[in-house]
């Protein structure tokens, strides 16, 4: 049993681009709903405290993830807002808290554990980063002396920052002792009026806390927003299982 690690899985997305009425995380992958993959990985690690954030109409997701707890993000106001929906269920937990996306389902337990270990070393926020063949429009991770300075969205990046090939997967691991203080300080002064999880880095650093990055393979980071991407995930899973 692993009482030191907990996880919040964001699973409120709709399957619109999948041309399906199913919630995105309920789309089949490797013979089971996509959401089962990260849950199975966490269970293999012995993680007991898993909270899944769902949409108000996410009954199917809540039923699938039981007996693990779930909560509802009443309005979709960004990733930072989604994680805050789990605050009450995480009350009093002071270990390492993974924040992962239900549609990034094939991270390995080794990667999750490495991120948690980094938090134990004294980092308040650890971002899972990767180096894709084509960094394209991914957010860039600006590092200095082993510490993550900031996450820069592609559209806001200078030419120098665009040349960085270390990119943001979106997934993070937090120190449970400071996590919700950081998240509650995130504002929504942006064009979309949303609360972005990526702002956690700037806020943590403004509080004098340290942030860093754990690198993983581009394959692990693969997500599924379309049927084509879902098919690619299937191929990665088969390759991993040696089929």
Residue 182 backbone dihedrals phi, psi, to 5 degrees: -65, -50
Share of the chain above pLDDT 70, in %: 98
The structural domains of the chain, ordered by start, are: 2-240 (3.90.550.10)
Model pLDDT for residues 125-179, shown as the tens digit of each residue: 999 999 999 998 899 999 999 999 999 999 889 999 999 999 999 999 999 999 9
pTM: 0.94
Q: Quote the mean pLDDT of the chain.
A: 93
With a cut of 60, say whether residue 76 has pLDDT above it: yes
17: annotated active-site residue: yes
- Give the separation between CA 222 and CA 230, rounded to whole angstroms: 9
Q: What pLDDT was estimated at residue 17?
A: 67
Q: What pLDDT was estimated at residue 1?
A: 65
H or E stretch including 49? strand 47-54
With a cut of 60, say whether residue 53 has pLDDT above it: yes
With a cut of 70, say whether residue 8 has pLDDT above it: yes
Query: pLDDT-derived band of residue 61, with 50, 70 and 90 as boundaries?
Result: very high
Q: What pLDDT was estimated at residue 243?
A: 55
Q: What pLDDT was estimated at residue 136?
A: 86
* DSSP-H helix ranges across the chain: 36-44, 59-65, 79-84, 109-120, 159-162, 179-184, 200-206, 218-221, 227-240
Work out whether the CA dihedral 97, 100, 102, 107 comes out positive or negative: negative
* For residues 83-103, average pLDDT: 96
Q: What pLDDT was estimated at residue 21?
A: 82
């Amino acid at each position: 049993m692993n009482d030191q690690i907990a996880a919040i899985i964001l699973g409120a997305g709709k399957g619109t681009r999948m041309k399906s009425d199913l919630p995105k995380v309920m789309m089949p992958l490797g013979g089971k709903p996509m959401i089962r993959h990260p849950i199975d990985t966490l269970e293999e690690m012995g993680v007991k405290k898993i909270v899944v954030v769902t949409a108000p109409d996410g009954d199917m997701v809540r039923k699938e993830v039981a007996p693990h707890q779930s909560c509802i993000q009443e309005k979709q106001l960004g990733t930072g807002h989604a994680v805050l929906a789990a605050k009450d269920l995480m009350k009093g937990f002071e270990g390492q808290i993974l924040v992962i996306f239900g549609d990034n389902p094939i991270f390995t337990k080794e990667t999750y554990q490495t991120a948690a270990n980094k938090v134990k070393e004294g980092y308040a926020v650890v971002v899972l980063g990767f180096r894709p063949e084509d960094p394209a429009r991914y957010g860039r991770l600006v590092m200095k002396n082993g510490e993550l300075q900031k996450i820069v969205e592609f559209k806001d990046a200078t030419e120098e920052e665009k040349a960085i090939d270390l990119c943001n997967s979106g997934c993070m691991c937090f120190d449970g002792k400071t996590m919700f203080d950081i998240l509650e300080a995130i504002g929504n002064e942006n064009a979309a009026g949303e609360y972005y999880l990526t702002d956690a880095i700037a806020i943590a650093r403004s509080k004098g806390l340290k942030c860093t990055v754990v690198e993983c393979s581009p394959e692990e980071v693969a997500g599924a927003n379309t049927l084509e991407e879902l098919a690619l995930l299937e191929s990665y899973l088969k390759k991993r299982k040696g089929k």
